[in-house]
Structure 1
Amino acid sequence: MKVLFIGGSGNISTSSTQLAIEKGIEIYHLNRGNTIRKISGARVLVGDINKINEVTDLKKHNWDTVVNWIAFTPDDIERDIAFFKGKTKQYIFISSASCYQTPLSYPVITESTPLSNNLWDYANNKIKCEERLMKAYQEENFPVTIVRPSLTYDTVIPIAIGGFKEYTTADRILKGKSIIIHGDGTSLWTVTHSDDFAKGLVGLLGLTQAIGHAFHITSDEILSWNMIYKILADSLGCEAKVVHIASDFICKTEPSFTGTLLADKSESVIFDNTKIKTFVPEFKAAISFSNGIKRTLKWLNQNPDMKFINPETNAKIDNILNAYKAL
């Protein structure tokens, strides 16, 4: 099987690349050649997806599957439909679980849960991408499969404030500074290691039955936010100094957190993974957050230049804490 990953060496996609290669799949990456993580066995086509018609090597190939990890807007999708129609048997769009109805009318999410999130441009644009692709499938037989990751991690810290590509909150924990947990910390969430996500994604590659379908791929482990932060602090060998603050107050004080909180992580969600398990029977998420976050922290310790402590985020956290204390 011959597969193109547009992107392919990021936080989520690296594990999928490695697993696909282990399974004997011929993997090509299209990127600008600036990636830090080189993956043995992946063939690289150097070029800018935004200048796709200038990538001469890409025009020579037809594909069993194309996976776009870095499409975010309807314009990105129009470009891909125009270029890959007739050149691939399957096109997988990496969407987002943040597309699901916000706020939820029912906390258990299946792929039939409505898509509606007007609080976050990122999610709203992903919804528009999905709508355009499904129209192309229905009217032009464009062979789309949609995949919706939730909070998936490998080289990033999956928390709501001061994490992901930042080490800001981890650094605050290590230094004994106060950190913020939104709400009372009892709402439920799921974090998924990219190695587990890869089992589902790679299982969909070349799967004809998956065309025209959408799937989310997450762990079945359900944790409260209090537990997520406690596991992080324990893995750092520290006790976190936690201040619980309502999401509404956080976002009123620092509106830049609205997308990640009010539009995504402020309410409980439970993902029903029946569909991906039905189409990919070998899919099973086996990495607990307690084990997975230790792997992440070990990687960060081995790559200290990736421990980005953002002074702007620190200032925002301190601003929220000060405003809360002043109530």
Structure 2
Amino acid sequence: MRVLLTGGTGTISRAVVARVLAEGHSLSVLNRGNREPLPEGVEHLVGDVRDEASLRDALGGREFDAVVQFLAFDGEDVERDLRVLAGRAGQYVLVSSCSTYLKPLPHHVVTEDSPQGNPYSAYARDKIAGEEALRAGAGDLPWTIVRPSHTYGERTIPTNFHFGNPWAAWQRVLDGKPVIVHGDGESLWTFTWNEDFAVGLVGLLGNEGALGRAVHITSDESITWNRAFRTVAGVIGAGEPDLVHVPSATLGALREDLEAALLGDKAATIVFDNTLVKSLVPAFDARTTWAEGVARAWEWMQAHPDSRRPDPAYDVFCDDVIARVRAWA
């Protein structure tokens, strides 16, 4: 297949690039050329995907069997793509988000047919608008919507919230400082290793069963946030972490962006039913556990110390909130 992918250097798209190449497809990647070099064998198209004239110039007269769009964030972005790609794509794959599902959840087990709507997150609402624009305007262009959930890779260890670099949370744990966990820490969450996700997404390319459908691609492992923090602490050799539990609503009241990140996403217990992607892509098996993924990421980060960047704003916020919580206790 001839595949076009936008971005190509992010946590998810980097893994998809590798998987597309591993399966022997012809790959073009479109981005602005400001990030790291792409792997050998990739045709690099330089342009601004969010600028219609630049996008047209970069694509020239090329046609593709599948286009994977990582960089469409609202309805206008999708409408632009549909204009540019008319008659030159066999399948348009919109990468959306599992944050689009309704909050609060009507049921903790989520399928692709679960209702969407997120009053806390503008990002999620914009993604929903993108999905709606695709369904309404695709015309004869076959399409697939893909919804990832908290996908990570070897270059970072994700956490519940941060303002610059998630490593700041783990540096606090490593230094024996208290760290904030939202709520009581017992809500369930799903972390998905990027290489596992890539198997699912690439398996949907050219897959007739995926056309006209939304498909989420996540791990089957759901763990509590308390366990997530304790697992990381164990892997990095920090011992038992000092977890300070703070209501998500309190954190959201202190910082508006945390309302979206927590009440609109991570505070809800959510378990994904991956029956659909497994039926469409038999090779998909999100086999990487949180403990295994964290260990791989920690190994990479030890070899790349520049990845362990501080986040002063996060530290100040945590110190202030923890001091208040402990003063109230």
TM-score, normalization by structure 2:
0.95
User: What is the percentage of aligned positions where both structures have the same residue?
Assistant: 38
Note the C-alpha offset of 1:8. 1.4
SS at match of 2:50: helix
1:1-327 matched pairs, under 5 angstroms: 1-36=1-36, 38-55=38-55, 56-137=57-138, 140-154=139-153, 155-162=155-162, 165-239=165-239, 240-327=241-328
SS at match of 1:215: strand
Report the CA distance shift for 1:194/1:104 in structure 2 as closer, same or farther (over 3 A).
Answer: same
SS at match of 2:103: coil
Distance in 1 of aligned mates of 2:203 and 2:218: 14
Distance in 2 of aligned mates of 1:177 and 1:112: 42
SS at match of 1:243: strand
Judge conservation of contact 1:157–1:165 (CA < 8 Å) in 2: no
Note the C-alpha offset of 1:306. 2.4
Judge conservation of contact 2:163–2:314 (CA < 8 Å) in 1: no
SS at match of 1:161: coil
Judge conservation of contact 1:157–1:164 (CA < 8 Å) in 2: no
SS at match of 2:29: strand
Distance in 1 of aligned mates of 2:39 and 2:310: 27
Note the C-alpha offset of 1:165. 4.2
Distance in 2 of aligned mates of 1:224 and 1:106: 17
Distance in 2 of aligned mates of 1:29 and 1:308: 28
Greater shift, 244-253 or 273-282, is seen at 244-253
Note the C-alpha offset of 1:118. 1.6
Q: Name the aligned partner's letter for residue 62 of structure 1.
A: E
Unaligned segments of structure 1, at least 5 residues: none
Report the CA distance shift for 1:293/1:164 in structure 2 as closer, same or farther (over 3 A).
Answer: farther
Judge conservation of contact 1:90–1:206 (CA < 8 Å) in 2: yes
Greater shift, 161-170 or 20-29, is seen at 161-170
The size of the alignment, in residue pairs, is 325
Distance in 1 of aligned mates of 2:216 and 2:196: 12
Q: Name the aligned partner's letter for residue 88 of structure 1.
A: A
Distance in 2 of aligned mates of 1:201 and 1:111: 15
Deviations 1:203-224 (A, max 9, x none): 0111122111000000111111
Unaligned segments of structure 2, at least 5 residues: none
Distance in 2 of aligned mates of 1:282 and 1:118: 36
Report the CA distance shift for 1:62/1:225 in structure 2 as closer, same or farther (over 3 A).
Answer: same
Note the C-alpha offset of 1:37. 5.1
| Cα RMSD after superposing both structures | 1.5
SS at match of 1:258: helix
Judge conservation of contact 2:158–2:166 (CA < 8 Å) in 1: no
Distance in 2 of aligned mates of 1:10 and 1:165: 15
Greater shift, 309-318 or 198-207, is seen at 309-318
Judge conservation of contact 2:49–2:71 (CA < 8 Å) in 1: no
Greater shift, 33-42 or 176-185, is seen at 33-42
Distance in 2 of aligned mates of 1:278 and 1:145: 15
Note the C-alpha offset of 1:323. 2.3
SS at match of 1:12: helix
Deviations 1:22-66 (A, max 9, x none): 110111110111112532322211111123423534122000000
Distance in 1 of aligned mates of 2:301 and 2:38: 17
SS at match of 1:181: strand
Note the C-alpha offset of 1:166. 2.7
Q: Name the aligned partner's letter for residue 132 of structure 2.
A: E
Note the C-alpha offset of 1:316. 1.6
Judge conservation of contact 1:200–1:283 (CA < 8 Å) in 2: yes
